[in-house]
Amino acid sequence: MELMYRRSLGPVVGAFLTGLRDQRLLASRTTEGRVICPALEYDPESGDAVETELVEVGPGGTVTGWSWVQEPLRKHPSDRPFAWALVRLDGADTSLLHALAVDGPESVQTGMRVVPRWADERTGHITDLAHFVPEEA
Amino acid sequence: MTDTADTTEGPVRFMPQLIGLDYTIRTNPVAAAFGAALAEGHITGHRCPSCQRVYSPPKGYCPICCVATGADDLVEVADRGLITSWTVLTPIQYAGQKEREDYALASILLDGADGTIGQQRLVEVPLDEIRMGLRVEAVWAPPGEREGDDRGYGLGTAVSGWRPTGEPDAPPSAYQDHTL
Amino acid sequence: MRDVAIVSFATSGSLPAVEDTETQMLFPVISEAIERSGIPRADIGFTCSGSADYLAGTPFAFVGNLEAVGAWPPISESHVDMDGAWALYEAWVRLQHGDVDVALAFSSGISSRSDLREVLCLQNDPYYVMPLWADHGSLAGLQARAAADAGLIPEADASVGTPPASDGAAAVILVAGDRAREVCERPAWIRGIEHRTDPHYLGVRDLTEVPSAEAAGLGDAPVEVAQLSAAHPHEEVLLRRALGLGDEVEVHTGADPLMVSGLVHIGEAFRQINENGRRRTVGHASSGACLQQNLVCVLEGDA
């Protein structure tokens, strides 16, 4: 079963994905000042709309959680073993889920520093960010 | 999706997303038996032991009485019957469309069955001569070319169409309770 | 509030890849639940089902499933794209209106037709998570890691695999008021039922907690048996904490089959009262990645 969607993005998600195309990591701010990356349209706590302007965060960040993938599935963002990571980018209060390219599970720890690697071709898609890598790499 | 590919400048407003999922459908035993009989040139059904209604294709139960049916309730129905309703389709030429000309699909009440079999193709009849009550018979595919429907909903490729028999039309009383 | 009780429960159990259609698989389960209730099928005033067409791989599969209920003469029915526990919840709500006394809630799932590691991706954030095709085992692993980092589980339980994916169906009959006692010697009264949900995007959640389960809660009196929709050891640990379950509570876990296990847990909580003479039990259902949504159903037997 194949379904082709063309999803409208709106001003918040659209701005975030536009940022990825331009190699920028953006976040939304709640009225309480909480910085959410990736940008969500509404404050998860209060349901209020976020501020209209997004703020820049990163590029580096800290791993707040992870899980190891020894045998990637066909649609995973990597065809070699990798880690899923929750990354709290510098300046953000929440974490972003993405792939972390490391050689083995012994190379991942909660708290480690990572930086993004960008895809060569970017269209405004979460995969414009190809994956994270350890900061010292 | 070329209109979303122009995203090198200006805000990105759309995201294409292709979702492709693979499913394996296994043929249930009731449908498998139905398909095997079709390959031999027989259209079968199950008769409910409670209300005596005959369902073709069989379901493995009577949905009115909520009674299970099985091989013990097997009956054969005729490969001829009457049209209870029909539609003429003008095929829209979307990518992948195989039909080119107008064609008709009908619901057919087979002799011996209590429910219609739907989406059956009508052949060898001008589209403006199709009518409720028209008596039709199956045009069987050659033996060896009769593949059952993997879910048992229809006749698969066993019957390639239905053509008029030439018999007098069935009266309204024969189809008026089956027009859906 | 009307008192509503579960008076019967039936399930196929976890089945390996079935050949039957979903409707054929449901047929004997619904019939058994109705027979066990002692109530004629025609007395059912409302029916609610839980299933997912994306699991069946068939649009409107849930409509065809009504043939297993008997939809002639026409019946009043509804459907939720959720585990049958939510169908039970809707049926409970419907019975509160007061005009019908008997409801049937059922659910089914044939997971064997597809790879759940891909199908379940459809429940994730469509912009930020779905395109990464992060499978449910990987996402559960994130919560396991969080629990290990917080010292809540041993390191050995931090690595989780893909949970089992069986086929199956379940059904219950609910009855409001005194009629429940007329048809059932020991009905299980629904004393509390609640569904809460945590935020959708994983990165805004503290995965060491399950606030929605805590918010749904158990009330003040102790429970003897808890049936939890936990697929992994860490989920049991987190749910026990969120629900305040001490070591003295008998806990049973499992989250398989998909779309059915939550209703089965509530059904087993019913059986603990109905067959094992327990006084107060709880059935729990969950939906979404990392226990995002939680439904808690507290049952009590008459003293």
Tell me the two tokens of residue A36.
């959410």
Question: What is the tens place of the pLDDT at every residue in B116-153?
Answer: 999 999 999 999 999 999 999 999 999 999 988 877 77
**Closest by CA position to C173, among listed C2, C3, C1, C5:** C5
Q: Which residue of A has its CA nearest to C144?
A: A67
8 Å CB contact between C223 and C194? no
Per-residue model confidence (pLDDT) at position B80: 98
pLDDT tens-place string over residues B46-100: 999 999 999 999 999 999 999 999 999 999 999 999 999 999 999 999 988 999 9
A52 in contact with B, Cβ within 8 Å: no
Which residues of chain B neighbour A125 with C-beta distances below 8 Å? Answer: 15
Residues contacting residue B81 through CB under 8 Å, at least 6 positions apart: B108, B109, B110, B111, B113, B135, B136
Q: How many CB atoms lie within 10 A of CB B143?
A: 10
User: Taking the domains of chain B in order of start, what are their residue ranges?
Assistant: 29-174
C28 touches chain B (CB under 8 A): yes
pLDDT of residue B4: 46
**pTM for the structure as a whole:** 0.95
Q: What is the spatial distance between Cα B55 and Cα B137, in angstroms, rounded to a whole number?
A: 18
What is the rounded average pLDDT of the residues A68-77? 97
C18 to B151: CB separation less than 8 angstroms, yes or no:
no
Which chains are adjacent to chain B, needing at least 3 Cβ pairs under 8 Å?
A, C
Q: Which of residues 8-37 of B touch A (CB under 8 A)?
A: 8, 11-23
Contact A6 B1 (CB under 8 A): yes
Query: Distance from C203 to chain A by nearest Cα, in Å?
Result: 4
Look up tokens 């839980």; give the residue: C50
Find, among A110, A38, A77, the residue nearest to C143 by Cα: A110
No. of H helices and E strands in chain A? Answer: 1, 9
> Is B70 at the interface with chain C, CB within 8 A?
no
Give the distance, in angstroms, between the CA of residue C30 and the centroid of all CA atoms in the same chain.
16
Domain C4-113+166-188 has CATH 2.30.40.10: no
Give the SS3 label for residue A127: helix
Distance, CA of C246 to chain centre: 22
Whether residue A112 contacts residue A133, with contact meaning beta carbons closer than 8 Å, is answered with no
Is the sign of the CA dihedral A2, C286, A70, A110 positive or negative? positive
Tell me how close the Cα of A110 comes to any Cα of chain B, in angstroms: 32
CA distance B137 to chain A (A): 34
Name the residue of chain A whose CA is nearest to B18's CA: A4
Where does residue C267 rank: exposed (0-12), middle (13-18), buried (19+ CB within 10 A)? Answer: buried
Q: Is C4-113+166-188's fold the same as C190-300's?
A: yes
Length of chain B, in residues: 180
- Are C283 and C268 in contact by the 8 Å Cβ rule? The answer is yes
Query: What's the rounded Cα separation, in Å, for the pair C205 and C140?
Result: 13
- How many CB atoms lie under 10 A from the CB of residue B129? 9
Answer for the pair C150, C156: CB distance below 8 angstroms, yes or no: no
In this predicted complex, what is the ipTM?
Answer: 0.97
pLDDT of residue B7: 57
pLDDT along chain C (303 residues), means of 10: 97 96 96 98 97 88 93 95 98 97 98 96 97 98 98 96 96 97 97 97 98 92 96 98 97 97 98 97 98 98 89
Domain ranges for chain C, please list them.
Answer: 4-113+166-188, 116-158, 190-300
Superfamily the domain C190-300 falls into: Thiolase/Chalcone synthase (3.40.47.10)
Confidence of residue B180 (pLDDT cuts 50, 70, 90): low
C-alpha atoms less than 13 angstroms from C-alpha of C292 in its C-beta half-sphere:
17
**HSE-up (13 A, CA, CB side) for residue B173:** 0
Q: Indicate whether B3 pLDDT > 70.
A: no
DSSP string spanning A82-125?
A: EEEEEEEETT-SS-EEEEE--SSGGG--TT-EEEEEE-SS-SSS
Torsion of CA C190, C233, C123, C265, to 10 degrees: -20
Whether C35 contacts chain B with CB within 8 A: no
SS3 B16: strand
In this complex, do A17 and B18 lie within 8 Å of one another by their Cβ atoms?
Answer: no
